[in-house]
Homo-oligomer: A and B are copies of this chain.
Amino acid sequence: MAKAERGPRERMVFSAAQLIRRDGVHSTGMRQVAADAAAPRGSLQHYFPGGKTQLVDEAVGWAGRYAARRVPRFLAALPEPTPSGLFAEMVRQWTDEYEAAGFAGGCPVAAATVECAESVPSTRTAASGAFSTWTGAVAEALTGMGVPEERAGALATLMISSLEGAILLARAEQDVRSLTTVARELGPLLDAAARQEDP
């Protein structure tokens, strides 16, 4: 995969996240993860003595940090930062992928939540943490654009909820329509909240 030249451990976590995106948690085998990461099978039990659960949990955590890390970069890429612009960038990451590479992958955190929320407590916690770091990053970005503090968290939740749901619809329909729709419909509402507190 793309991100070579990291340790085998990190590569396995990364590969796990990628495979979970496509096939879900249960359909992703350990052997498959090792193969995809070009890592020896024996390393699995060495680096992840907690078994598959630990690997999945780390993959989910990694995904959450990855998503959060992208937020400031999206802002930096905008000519002038606005909430609607940020959301459009977040959505565009998905439409770009889907149009370029097909609708193979979803959000790994969503997959982990759907499959493990009830059966594997630690994974549920990991998913919760991933969502909250992601939401936190978005909320922080919003406050930086003039959204009142107490409103920023709510809007971040709304943005991520809509995005996650739109990803689901897009994969099912194999059409980015839902993604572009939520971006278009939510944009004005987001910008209005930023203007609330501006001079």
Contact = CB atoms under 8 A, between A and B. Distances in A.
Contact of A128 (B117, B161, B173): B173
A27 B116 CA distance: 9
Interface in A47-61: none
Given A131-B169, A182-B161, A22 B103 contact: no
A23 B182 contact: no
Contacts of A111: 114-115
B182 A158 contact: yes
Contact of A178 (B23, B161, B169): B161
A95 interface: no
Contact of A115 (B26, B104, B174): B26
Among A154, A162, A177, max chain B CB count under 10 A is at: A162
As for how many copies of this chain the complex holds, the number is 2
A124 interface: yes
A30 interface: no
B162 A124 contact: no
A127 interface: yes
A23 B169 contact: no
Contacts of A103: 117-118
A75 B131 CA distance: 33
Nearest to A190: B185
B185 A158 contact: yes
Interface string A68-84: 00000000000000000
A168 B134 CA distance: 14
A113 B26 contact: no
A107 B169 CA distance: 13
Interface string A96-135: 0000000111100111011101110000100110111000
B114 A155 contact: no
B24 A115 contact: yes
- What 6 pairs between A and B have smallest CB-CB spacing? A161-B165, A164-B165, A165-B165, A26-B26, A127-B172, A24-B115
